[in-house]
Amino acid sequence: MPRITVEDDAGHKPVKWVPLTAEAVAQAQDALRTLLVERGQNTLGHIGRSPKFADYVEETYKPRLEASDHL
């Protein structure tokens, strides 16, 4: 499992362990290169824990709901 630095929404850059699904060294190297390219292009999928539902409601859902009421 390689470690990469990933910037989160708050601007912090924690180091994350990323599991790779590879059975050979060459496959793992290709997967790591792909992961680094995605990070560089800012298209990397979610890594790590998901937010708690209550935090999602307060930080994401409610602001979007309030914004849609003003349309």
pLDDT at res. 71: 61
In terms of pTM, does the model score above 0.85? no
- pLDDT at residue 7, as a whole number: 80
Instruction: Please name every residue paired with 17 in a beta bridge, in sequence order, or none if there are none.
Output: 3
Per-residue pLDDT of the chain (71 residues; tens, 9 = 90+): 778 887 877 888 888 888 888 889 999 999 899 988 888 888 877 776 777 899 889 988 999 998 887 66
The residue written with tokens 């792909």 in the block is 34
Residue 30: what pLDDT? Answer: 93
Please name the helix (run of DSSP H) or strand (run of DSSP E) that holds residue 5, with its range, or none: strand 3-5
CA distance 31 to 42: 16
